[in-house]
């Protein structure tokens, strides 16, 4: 019984990547005039498999699969990327023409049209400087009230300058695929008011905010807040985010300076899904060490987000990340077969149970460093319940074992969370692996540069 179930699970994991295996079986060296291998071209045309999570709901997710030959692009620069997305970053989100965009090499969001790399000073408003900002809004003299006045206005203008430069807007019916080693650095992929989008096999690195805002009443001691995610999904449906690596590169949160006694945070989310977005599947991604990883729903307001924010997370690796893995409001969010490796004094929590959230978490595997226990994995952000089953936890040097995350949480916290969120996931394209197999499969298969291109 046990071995047949194991065999079925392993076969199932292969089926999950069967598209990749079919592509790999094609003859090597069959490159077209565009320099793309046959496996790459097949991958560019691939749609989300039927029933593969929430992004398979409704019309499903095919991205740019229907692109005509003139809408298949290979880009090496920010300028080429913007051109492939429609030509004008200010209006590209309205470009619904099916398009497949292959990224080759390093594309830097700070790259100017002439190829020069801009820095934060180039994007700053003439009236803004960090030194002036720190002098003006020090809580010791300014008080614990929000920054206001000409200097804050100059900061806001600076952010607008940066947004035009480093936020790359994506329209509907788009597939973006990284060729081997492809990296988007210092930029935000913004999927806003854009349905049917696929993003695969990319390393997204260090989307940094040049002009963080001081929020004196955020938390007990205030916080610096940044607004650039590596990828944002807003007001969009049917989005598939697959086999990507999200990282801060050589600019980790841990190396940031401290101002006003708080870390001068220049990063926001890795993959934030907010503002009524829904039907998103994030599969086989690797989220590397950083503070905030995934926010699903950004406001407690009971309004347009109700009935939205449905997201599936499967076979992702959360490696050394500290909080929001994910943090959920409103959505029906299924979290299965993900591997978590969590350690360090900065660790906050894994799954945030927020307002009207309905998280269904099963068959995930958590490896916890010293000082972190199963009771630390959930956090109650004004939620009421989470359904969880079949999750395994390894604490420190102890053995991995089946643990009820809910029972562990409730034993140490008040009020208790309930155990029934009132829905059961049905959109699964392959079998669910038993949790003990998950670290092996996810370690081998999650992240960029695992798909054959």
- Residues near Ca ion (CB under 5 A): 229, 268-269, 272, 410, 414, 416
Residue closer to Ca ion by CB (options 39, 186) is 186
CB of 179 to Ca ion, least distance (A): 28
| CB-nearer residue toward Ca ion: 151 or 405 | 405
Nearer to Ca ion, 292 or 363 (CB): 292
The residue length of the chain stands at 453
The nearest distance, CB 227 to Ca ion, in angstroms, is: 6
* Cβ-based neighbour number of residue 302 at 10 Å: 11
CA–CA distances in Å: residue 35 to residues 73, 85, 453: 11, 20, 11
Q: Which is nearer to Ca ion, 96 or 410 (by Cβ)? A: 410
Which tokens in the block code for residue 322? 């500290």
Q: Minimum CB separation from Ca ion for residue 203, in Å?
A: 19
Output 229 or 248, the one with its CB closest to Ca ion.
229
Nearest approach in angstroms of CB 269 to Ca ion is 4
Q: 262-263 and 271-274 as β-strands: parallel, antiparallel, unpaired? A: unpaired
How far, in whole angstroms, is CA 147 from its chain's centroid? 30
207 class by beta-carbon count within 10 Å (0-12 exposed, 13-18 middle, 19+ buried): buried
What is d(CA 137, CA 260) in angstroms, rounded to the nearest whole number?
9
The vertex-207 CA angle with 339 and 295, nearest 5°, equals: 50
Q: What angle do CA 294, 436, 364 make, to 5 degrees?
A: 20
Which residues are within 8 A (CB) of 82 and not within 5 positions of it... i.e. 6 or more apart? 88, 89, 92, 168
Q: Are the C-beta atoms of residues 199 and 189 closer than 8 Å to each other?
A: yes
Shortest CB 272 distance to Ca ion, Å: 4
Those residues with Cβ within 8 angstroms of residue 293's Cβ, 6 or more apart along the chain or in another chain: 246, 269, 270, 271, 287, 318, 321, 322, 323, 324, 325, 326
Per the annotation, the verdict on 208 as an active-site residue is: no
By C-beta, is 155 or 267 nearer to Ca ion? 267
Measured from the Cβ of residue 143, the count of other Cβ atoms closer than 10 Å reads 10
CB 280 to Ca ion: min, Å: 14
The three-class DSSP label of residue 154 is: helix
d(CA 56, CA 97): 21
Shortest Cβ distance from residue 298 to Ca ion (Å)? 7
Shortest distance, CB of residue 317 to Ca ion, whole angstroms? 21
Of 122 and 416, nearer to Ca ion (C-beta) is 416
The least CB distance from residue 256 to Ca ion, in Å, is 17
Kindly name the residue from 155, 208, 308, 324 that is annotated as catalytic.
324
CB nearer Ca ion, residue 36 or residue 207: 207
Coil, strand or helix: which one is 62? coil
Least Cα distance to 319 among 342, 335, 337 occurs for 342
Contacts of 313 (CB under 8 A, 6+ apart): 282, 283, 294, 326, 333, 334, 335, 336, 338
Distant-in-sequence, close-in-space partners of 232: CB < 8 Å, separation ≥ 6: 188, 189, 190, 191, 192, 269, 271, 272, 273, 274
Nearer to Ca ion, 45 or 234 (CB): 234
- Residue nearest to Ca ion according to CB distances in the complex: 272
Active site positions, annotated: 324
């Amino acid at each position: 019984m046990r071995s047949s179930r194991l065999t079925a699970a392993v076969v199932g994991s292969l089926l999950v990547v069967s598209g990749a295996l079919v592509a790999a079986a094609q003859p090597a060296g069959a490159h077209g005039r565009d320099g793309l291998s046959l496996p790459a071209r097949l991958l560019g045309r691939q749609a989300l498999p039927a029933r593969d999570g929430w992004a398979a709901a409704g019309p499903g997710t095919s991205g740019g699969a229907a692109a005509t030959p003139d809408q298949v692009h290979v880009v090496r620069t920010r300028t080429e990327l913007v051109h492939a997305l429609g030509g004008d970053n200010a209006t590209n989100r309205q470009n619904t023409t099916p398009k497949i965009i292959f990224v080759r090499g390093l594309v830097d969001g700070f790259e100017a049209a002439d190829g020069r790399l801009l820095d934060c000073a180039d994007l700053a408003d003439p009236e803004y400087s960090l030194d002036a900002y720190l002098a003006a809004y020090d809580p010791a003299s300014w008080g614990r009230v929000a920054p206001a006045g000409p200097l804050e206005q100059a900061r806001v203008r600076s952010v607008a300058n940066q947004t035009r430069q480093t936020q790359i807007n994506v329209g509907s019916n788009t597939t973006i695929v990284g060729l081997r080693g492809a990296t988007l650095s210092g930029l935000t992929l913004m999927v806003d008011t854009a349905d049917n989008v696929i993003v695969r096999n990319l390393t997204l690195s260090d989307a940094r905010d040049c002009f963080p805002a001081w929020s004196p009443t955020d938390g007990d001691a205030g916080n610096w807040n940044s607004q650039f995610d590596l990828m944002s999904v807003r007001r969009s449906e049917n989005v598939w985010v697959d086999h990507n690596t999200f990282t801060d590169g050589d600019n980790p949160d841990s190396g940031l300076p401290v101002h006003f006694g708080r870390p001068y945070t220049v990063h926001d989310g890795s993959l934030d899904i907010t503002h009524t977005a829904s039907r998103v599947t994030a599969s086989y991604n690797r989220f590397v060490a950083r503070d905030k990883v995934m926010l699903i729903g950004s406001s407690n307001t009971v309004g347009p987000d109700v009935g939205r924010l449905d997201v599936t997370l499967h076979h992702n690796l959360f490696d050394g990340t500290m909080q929001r893995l994910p943090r959920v409001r409103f959505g029906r969010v299924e979290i299965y077969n993900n591997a978590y490796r969590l350690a360090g004094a900065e660790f906050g929590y894994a799954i945030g149970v927020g307002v009207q959230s309905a998280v269904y978490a099963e068959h995930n595997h958590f490896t916890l460093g010293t000082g972190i226990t199963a009771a630390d994995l959930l956090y109650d952000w004004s939620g009421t319940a989470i359904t969880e089953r079949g999750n395994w936890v390894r604490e420190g040097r102890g053995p991995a074992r089946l643990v009820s995350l809910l029972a562990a949480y409730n034993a140490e916290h008040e009020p208790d969370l309930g155990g029934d969120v009132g829905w059961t996931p049905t959109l699964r394209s392959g079998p669910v692996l038993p949790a003990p197999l998950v670290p092996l499969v996810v370690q081998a298969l999650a992240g960029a540069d695992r798909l054959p291109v």
